[in-house]
Amino acid sequence: QGGLPRQPLPMPASLRPLIQLRTGGAYRVDDAGLALTLLAAPSQVGGWTAIVGVDDLGVEAALESGLDLDRTVLVPNPGEDWLEATAALVDVVPVVLLRPPHAVAAGTAARLGARLRKRAATLFVQGNWPGAEATLGVSEQRWYGAGAGHGRLTSRRVIVSCERGSAP
């Protein structure tokens, strides 16, 4: 109530048949590469993004996924102020990726959820998140490029799974 209308979030074409993500919601993402791919889609159409609590972000991988680092706010180690940092960013950045340092209470998730709806922002969370609208993860993967113990990995093909509540 009192929030902005929930709009479709830009998404990679390969994921559109699986689910349509919307602004104003929180989504759990169980794979770092998938999280970067989801973050890159809004970034590629000129949107700002933020990454909070991901202290091992592979900047080269983020660039290769299509994330525009010139329009990305990085807060790699907010410490115990992770919630305040995330809430402040949700006020000004439409898409935020968060890796909380510990389990999140349902009340905390609900308060941040209200802020997401009010600001029409979207939160991707690596880790448990009470009340997440959906959980996206990689159920199968295959790497390409490396030979028998030598060479460079060139690509990864994945099967993405999506769970809404108890319905896969």
| Residue 61: strand, helix, or coil | helix
Check if the beta carbon of residue 136 is closer than 8 Å to that of residue 162: yes
Task: Return the percentage of the chain with pLDDT > 90, whole number.
Answer: 67
Residue 29 has pLDDT above 70, yes or no: yes
Distance CA 131, CA 120 (A): 17
- Please give the DSSP secondary-structure letter assigned to residue 130: T
Residue 164's nearest CA partner among 22, 42, 33, 2 is: 22
pLDDT band at 1; cut points 50, 70, 90: low
